[in-house]
Amino acid sequence: MKEKLEFYTVKPNLKQIYGRKITKDLTFDEWTKDKTVHQILKDCTLTTIINNEYEVNGLKVKEESKTVVTYPEGFVLIWNEKIGYVTPQVQVCTLDEIRKEVDEIDGIYKEIKGE
């Protein structure tokens, strides 16, 4: 008996994370809970100001920085409780976008199977 080949898909990580899609009209002025990171978004430009003090191996560290990044419209930032909005290290999408892709893949699969 000849075994049939099957199609397999890499199982997605369905963990939900907070985020925002950048638009020219989106503005915010927010702080992390511990007030060490202040972020302002205006005109697709995110300004991040960090003022933090902590100890490492008995050394007192004082961190002061300002970073300014201009994002294209449609770019998604994700929320990190400790450092604010960040650029995701992996591609992110909404559940609706996932559903659409799964439906498209399902249609192709059914076509190949002759259904």
Model confidence pLDDT, tens digit, residues 28-39: 999 999 999 999
- Hey, is 69 helix, strand or coil? strand
Kindly report, residue by residue over 34-74, the tens digit of the pLDDT: 999 999 999 999 999 999 999 999 999 999 999 999 999 99
φ/ψ of residue 40, rounded to 5: -130, 130
| pTM assigned to the model | 0.76
State yes or no: pLDDT of 2 exceeds 80.
no
Instruction: State the alpha helices, DSSP H only, in 1-115.
Output: 95-113
Q: Residue 54: what are its φ and ψ, rounded to 5°? A: -160, 170
**CA–CA gap between residue 16 and residue 18 (Å, rounded):** 7
Tokens standing for 111?
Answer: 């076509």
